[in-house]
Amino acid sequence: NVGETAQNIFQKALDCIFTSDIRIANGILEMHRVLDMEVNRLINELPEIPYLRAIISYLTKIADLGAAIAEIAINRALEKPNKMVEEIVKTVKHVRTTPLTGKR
């Protein structure tokens, strides 16, 4: 159901702002991607009934806002030092210090 999914995305995104849970935030972004595909399918299959398209459009906007909030939650979580972020930074530093191979 598009309405339930949009509501779920938005509610979980608000929770992520306070919990800084990157895994849930990434799950929200995946849910949003799947919802977009479903909405596109529905719009193509629905007869041209303006009010149904309007409802789907408004629900999509709610889900879009939820996805934007999830992205903000991810950015905020990455700004705070924690073990997951430290591991990412170590990996990036290791990759950057490894000499490049190949011809230039």
Q: Which domains does the chain have, with CATH numbers?
A: 2-97 (1.20.58.220)
Q: Are 88 and 81 in contact (CB under 8 A)?
A: no
CA distance 25 to 29: 6
Total-model pTM: 0.71
Q: What is the DSSP string of 15-43?
A: HHHHH--HHHHHHHHHHHHHHHHHHHHHH
Q: What single-letter DSSP state applies at residue 80?
A: S
CA distance 55 to 100: 53
pLDDT in tens, the chain (104 residues): 899 999 999 999 999 989 888 899 999 999 999 999 999 988 888 777 888 888 999 999 999 999 999 999 999 888 876 666 667 667 766 655 555 566 54
